[in-house]
């Protein structure tokens, strides 16, 4: 029963730091001194280091030996690369998911979608972003393609950062909601072609919006 509450300190620290980075609480390039951050979070340095290493693997922070960790800078080139990778992987993965999903897996995806909608209408910005990621990953059938799912999960997390930093959610929310419905319907009905098309379109449009917003 302690599923969500307990977890280890390292995991909670990881989530806390990720959240702060994604929401801009720690600006890109900001140095993360271990003693300071550990004291701020009320933990010792050991789980903090574990969290930092995890976030380094996720690509959110960078660190070199004896030189400390910093929030990774953002760049137009990296955004382009992230979305390029997603464009290569995600549509096909979603199509395969649509073809092979079981009823149980469809139920999981449906639940993820409804939670996303709930968070979105409640204006829980960062929660909605997380739920958005979980919904998209649920279409890939994490149990069947664990590596692909994990990979896209990370790429989504990296994407999230750019979206949060550069795109205002004005009209995007409404359009996204409708698109998610279309995507889910196609996916759940086994229409991988359509689902892949919607996904590709979605990723590509976000990329274009971002590249335009980041300026140069």
Partner DNA sequence: CGATCGGATATGATATGCAATCGCACCGCC
Partner DNA sequence: GGCGGTGCGATTGCATATCATATCCGATCG
Question: Which positions lie near DNA, rule CB under 7 A?
Answer: 2, 6, 8-11, 32-35, 42-47, 49-50, 63, 65-69
- Coil/strand/helix, residue 41: helix
- For residue 43, the partner it binds in DNA, a copy of itself, none, with Cβ less than 5 to 8 A by kind, is DNA
> Does 153 engage in binding with a copy of itself (CB under 8 A)?
no
Q: Which does 126 bind (CB under 5 to 8 A by kind): DNA, a copy of itself, none?
A: none
Choose among DNA, a copy of itself, none what residue 35 binds, the Cβ cut-off being 5 to 8 Å by kind: DNA
9 binds, among a copy of itself, DNA, none (CB under 5 to 8 A by kind): DNA
In angstroms, the CA 180 to CA 123 distance is 17
Task: Return d(Cα 106, Cα 135) in angstroms, integer.
Answer: 11
Contact between 82 and a copy of itself (CB under 8 A)? yes
According to CB under 8 A, which residues from 33 to 72 bind a copy of itself?
A: 46, 49-50, 53-54, 57, 59, 65
CA 142 to chain centre: 15
- DSSP string spanning 46-96? HHHHHHHHHHHHHTSEEEETTTEEEEPP--HHHHHHHHHHHHHHHHHHHHH
Question: Cβ distance 142 to 185 under 8 Å?
Answer: no
- Verify binding: residue 101, a copy of itself, rule CB under 8 A: no
């Amino acid at each position: 029963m302690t599923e969500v509450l307990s977890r280890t300190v390292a995991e909670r620290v990881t989530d806390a730091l990720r959240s702060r980075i994604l929401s801009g609480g720690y600006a890109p390039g900001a140095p993360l001194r271990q003693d300071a951050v550990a004291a701020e979070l009320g933990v010792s340095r050991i789980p903090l280091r574990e969290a930092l290493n995890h976030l380094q693997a996720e690509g959110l922070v960078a660190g070199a030996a004896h030189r400390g960790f910093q929030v990774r800078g953002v760049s137009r080139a990296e955004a382009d690369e992230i979305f390029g990778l997603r464009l290569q992987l995600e549509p096909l993965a979603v199509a395969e998911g649509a073809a092979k999903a079981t009823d149980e897996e469809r139920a999981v995806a449906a639940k993820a979608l409804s939670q996303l909608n709930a968070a979105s209408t409640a204006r829980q910005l960062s929660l909605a972003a997380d739920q958005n990621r979980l919904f998209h990953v649920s279409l890939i059938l994490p149990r069947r393609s664990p590596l692909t799912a994990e990979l896209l999960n990370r790429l989504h997390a990296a994407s999230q950062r750019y979206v949060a930093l550069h795109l205002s959610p004005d009209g995007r929310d409404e359009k996204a909601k409708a698109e998610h419905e279309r995507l889910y319907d196609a996916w759940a009905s086994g229409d991988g072609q359509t689902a892949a098309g919607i996904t590709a379109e979605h990723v590509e449009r976000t990329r274009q919006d971002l590249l335009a917003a980041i300026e140069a």
